[in-house]
Structure formats: C-alpha cells, structure tokens
C-alpha cells in the first residue's frame, strides 16, 4: 500500500477462489452519498465482478450501504457503477475476458489522494484441488516459520 492510500474494503475471498493473472487500477464514478458511505467503510464486494458493455467498464453487484444521514436522494445500494479507465485498456480487458473465459474481480477498493479507486484482477477460477494445495502450502510455511522462531529462541 503506497503513501496516501486508505483501504476501504478487501476481497479476501477472491484470492482464495481465483488465480490473479493481472492487476489494474480504475476510478469509480460515484454519487455524493456513496462517497460519504465509503468514507465510513460501508461497502461489500461479495459476489461482485467487472463487465465490459458497449466499450464501457462497469462494477456489478457491489453493495454500498445507503448513507445514514442521507435524504430521499440516497443512492441504490447495488446499482451498476461505471469504472474509469482508458478506452484502449477497457477494450483489451474485454477481449481477454471474452476469448479466454477469464473474469474481472474487484480485489480491493481504496482512496488514493482523495479519489475512490478499485483494484481489478484479471482472474481465472481455481479448482478445489488448487485450493487444497494452497492451504497445504500455507500450513507448511507457517510450521517452518514457527520452527525457525523456536530455534532462534533457544
């Protein structure tokens, strides 16, 4: 995390369920009450994904809770939100998603120099065997670190 960044929400489940091949940063087009709600940390990325439609990139199924002090003009919590990237990047991502069966998954949402950003991952789904292998590797790593710590302490 670079200086001037404040993470709002991370999608830990995405790292468990997908192989992240590439990472891309995109701005998010938000309404006023959505920004205020984000500053309070009220966002969920569960089951959300990115999609390219008519040359535009959208974040779908991301839930931003309504702002508590808002009025009748409050936003719809699960509305599609347009993501801001260069046209060339959007078209390239759209082509890769269509041809290879990859998915655009939001990995985290954060503020960077006062602007809301989303980190999108170009991902490929993991199989159950891959998940078990990752858990096994993590357990082995944890045990070796514990043994090294014990050996240093003696």
112 pLDDT higher than 80: yes
Parallel/antiparallel/unpaired status of strands 56-60 and 18-28: unpaired
Tens digits of residue pLDDT in 28-57 = 998 878 888 888 888 888 888 899 999 899
Quote the number of domains for the chain: 1
Whole-angstrom CA distances from 145 to 3, 151, 153 are 29, 10, 12
Which domain CATH number covers 101? 2.40.280.10
- Residue 149 included in any domain: no
What is the predicted pLDDT for the residue at 110?
93
Measuring CA to CA, which residue among 129, 104, 126, 108 is closest to residue 117? 108
* Alpha helices, H only, the chain: 12-17, 32-39, 87-100, 128-153
**Is residue 90 one of the residues assigned to a domain?**
yes
pLDDT in tens, 121-153: 998 888 777 778 888 888 999 999 888 888 887
pLDDT single digits (tens) 20-29: 898 999 999 9
The answer to the question of residue 132 being in a domain is: no
Q: Tell me the three state secondary structure of residue 71.
A: coil
In a domain, 89, yes or no: yes
Residue span of the structural domain in which 69 resides: 5-126
User: Could you tell me the CA-to-CA distances from 107 to 23, 33, 50, 119 in Å, in that order?
Assistant: 9, 23, 11, 5
Asked if the structure places residue 147 within a domain, the reply is no
Confidence at 17, pLDDT banded by 50, 70, 90:
confident
Q: Tens of pLDDT along 57-109? A: 999 998 888 877 766 667 777 889 999 999 999 999 998 888 887 889 999 99
| 83 assigned to some structural domain | yes
CA-CA distance, 124 to 136, in Å (whole number)? 20
């Amino acid at each position: 995390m670079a200086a001037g960044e404040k993470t709002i929400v991370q999608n830990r489940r995405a790292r468990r369920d997908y192989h992240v091949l590439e990472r891309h940063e995109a701005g998010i087009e938000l309404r006023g009450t959505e920004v205020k709600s984000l500053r309070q940390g009220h966002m969920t990325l569960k089951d959300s994904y990115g999609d390219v439609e008519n040359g535009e990139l959208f974040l779908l199924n991301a839930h931003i809770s309504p702002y508590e002090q808002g009025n009748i003009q409050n936003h719809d919590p699960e509305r599609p939100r347009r993501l801001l990237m260069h046209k060339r990047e959007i078209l390239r991502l759209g082509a890769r998603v269509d041809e290879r069966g990859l998915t655009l998954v939001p990995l985290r949402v954060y503020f960077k120099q006062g602007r809301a950003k989303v980190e999108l991952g170009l991902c490929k789904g993991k199989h159950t065997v891959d998940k078990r292998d990752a858990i096994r590797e993590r357990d082995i790593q944890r045990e070796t670190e514990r043994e090294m710590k014990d050996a240093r302490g003696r």
